[in-house]
C-alpha cells in the first residue's frame, strides 16, 4: 500500500480508503460478519483511512467501525460526518457526541460537515450560537482533531468554501464520468487541504460491463480498475475512497492502489483523448446546465439525460438502467410516489425554449424511457 500526507494535518493515509456506506446488507440489515470481514481484510492489507457517517448503514456504520477498529495496534484514521446544517448549535453538538459514543473514541481524527452547501455555510450554520460556534468549541476541547467538509455543490461554490480557510479536508466527487471537479481538487491541494475523492467508480456504475470503458486501458483486469487508476493518477488526490462490499473487491482495489504508477504517460494521453471525445459527444445530448428546470411535472431532465449518456456514450447499460429505476421510484418525505423519470413527462413543452443546446427534450425523454425503462 502507498501512503501520502493528508494535506497539512500531519497524518499519513493510504491512497485507498474504505467507505462504509456500501458494506453488505440484506433485508435492510447489516450483515455483520461479512461487513467485519471486509474491514479486517482492508486493515490487513494496509488501508488506514476509514469513512463513516451518522446515517450510513441505517445508522450503524459508526458502531460497526468502532467495534472493528478497537484493539487494532497500527495507526488508523477515522473519518465521519455530521449532516446537520440548521441554525441550532446544540443539535449539531448532539450528533457529534453521538458519533463519539458510537465510534468509542475520545476524539475524531477527521470530522466533516456532510454534503455542505455554500448557502448553508453562509446562512444558518454561521448565526450566533449556531453550529459554527459549536464547531469552534469542540475543536478547542480536542474532540475534533481535523475538520473538513464533503460536498455536492457546484465547483464554483466548492472553491469558495475552500477559500474560506476554515477547513483542512475536502471530500468530493471525481471520476471518469464526472471530472468537472478537477479545478477544485487542484485549488484545495494548493491551499494545503487533504483531498478525499468519493465515488471513484461512480457508485459502481463504472464497474458495469462496457466495451467503451474497457478500451480506455485494454490491459486492465476490470473496468473498476480503470476507474480507480484514473482517480489515483491525479497528483492532487490524497485518498480514493471506495465503498467496498466484499473481501475480493478489497483485494482487487488494493492491488490497483499499490501499482508503481497508476498510468504511464502514453496511457494517460490515450485516456484523455478518448475522454475528451466522449465528452464532446455527451455535450450533444445535454451539458447539464439545468436551464430546462423546473419541470412542472417533476421530471429531473438532466439526470434522465445523464442516464441516457451513460448507456449510449459509455456503454454502461446496467448502471444507466439502475439510475433510471431510482428516478422512477422517488418518493416525497411522506413516502408518496413522486417519480422524476422520463415517463412522467406530460409533453407540455415548457422546457424546450429554455434549452441553450436546442435539444428536442420531449423526443429525447421518450427515447430515454424506451432505452432504459424496462420491466
- Domains (range + CATH), the chain: 3-265 (3.20.20.100), 286-372 (no CATH)
**b/e burial code for range 52-70 (CB count within 10 A of at least 16 → b):** bbbebbeebbbbbbbbbbe
pLDDT tens sequence across 306-353: 999 999 989 999 999 999 999 999 999 889 999 999 999 999 999 999
Distance between CA 353 and CA 360 in Å, rounded? Answer: 10
- Res. 280 pLDDT band, cuts 50 70 90: confident
From the list 246, 204, 358, the residue with the least C-alpha distance to 292 is 358
Half-sphere exposure of 279 (CA within 13 A, CB side): 12
R_g (Cα) of the chain, nearest Å: 21
pTM score: 0.88
- Res. 375 pLDDT band, cuts 50 70 90: low
DSSP state of 144: E
Is the pLDDT reported for residue 233 higher than 60? yes
Amino acid at each position: 500500500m502507498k501512503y501520502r500526507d493528508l494535506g497539512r494535518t500531519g497524518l499519513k493515509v493510504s491512497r485507498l480508503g474504505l467507505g462504509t456506506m456500501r458494506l453488505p446488507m440484506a433485508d435492510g440489515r447489516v450483515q455483520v460478519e461479512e461487513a467485519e470481514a471486509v474491514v479486517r481484510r482492508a486493515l490487513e492489507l494496509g488501508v488506514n483511512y476509514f469513512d463513516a457517517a451518522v446515517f450510513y448503514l441505517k445508522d450503524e456504520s459508526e458502531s460497526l467501525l468502532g467495534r472493528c477498529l478497537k484493539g487494532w495496534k497500527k495507526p488508523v484514521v477515522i473519518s465521519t460526518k455530521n449532516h446537520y446544517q440548521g441554525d441550532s448549535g446544540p443539535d449539531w453538538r448532539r450528533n457529534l457526541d453521538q458519533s463519539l459514543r458510537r465510534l468509542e473514541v475520545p476524539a475524531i481524527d477527521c470530522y466533516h460537515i456532510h454534503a455542505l452547501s455554500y448557502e448553508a455555510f453562509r446562512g444558518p450554520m454561521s448565526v450566533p450560537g449556531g453550529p459554527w460556534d459549536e464547531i469552534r468549541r469542540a475543536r478547542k476541547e480536542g474532540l475534533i482533531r481535523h475538520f473538513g467538509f464533503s460536498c455536492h455543490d457546484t465547483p464554483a461554490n466548492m472553491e469558495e468554501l475552500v477559500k474560506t480557510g476554515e477547513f483542512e479536508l475536502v471530500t468530493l466527487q471525481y471520476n471518469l464520468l464526472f471530472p468537472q471537479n478537477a479545478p477544485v481538487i487542484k485549488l484545495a491541494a494548493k491551499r494545503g487541504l487533504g483531498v478525499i475523492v468519493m465515488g471513484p467508480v461512480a457508485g459502481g456504475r463504472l464497474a458495469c460491463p462496457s466495451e467503451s470503458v474497457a478500451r480506455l486501458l485494454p490491459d486492465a483486469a476490470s473496468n473498476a480498475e480503470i476507474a480507480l487508476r484514473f482517480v489515483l493518477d491525479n497528483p492532487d488526490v490524497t485518498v480514493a475512497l471506495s465503498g467496498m462490499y466484499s473481501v475480493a473487491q478489497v483485494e482487487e482495489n488494493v492491488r490497483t492502489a499499490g501499482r508503481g504508477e497508476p498510468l504511464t504517460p502514453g496511457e494517460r494521453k490515450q485516456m484523455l483523448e478518448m475522454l475528451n471525445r466522449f465528452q464532446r459527444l455527451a455535450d450533444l445530448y445535454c451539458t447539464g446546465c439545468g436551464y430546462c428546470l423546473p419541470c412542472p411535472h417533476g421530471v429531473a431532465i438532466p439526470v434522465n439525460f445523464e442516464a441516457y449518456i451513460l448507456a449510449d456514450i459509455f456503454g454502461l447499460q446496467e448502471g444507466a438502467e439502475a439510475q433510471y429505476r431510482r428516478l422512477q421510484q422517488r418518493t416525497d418525505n411522506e413516502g408518496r410516489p413522486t417519480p422524476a423519470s422520463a415517463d412522467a413527462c406530460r409533453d407540455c413543452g415548457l422546457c424546450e425554449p429554455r434549452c441553450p443546446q436546442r435539444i428536442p427534450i420531449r423526443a429525447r425523454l421518450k427515447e430515454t424511457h424506451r432505452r432504459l425503462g424496462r420491466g
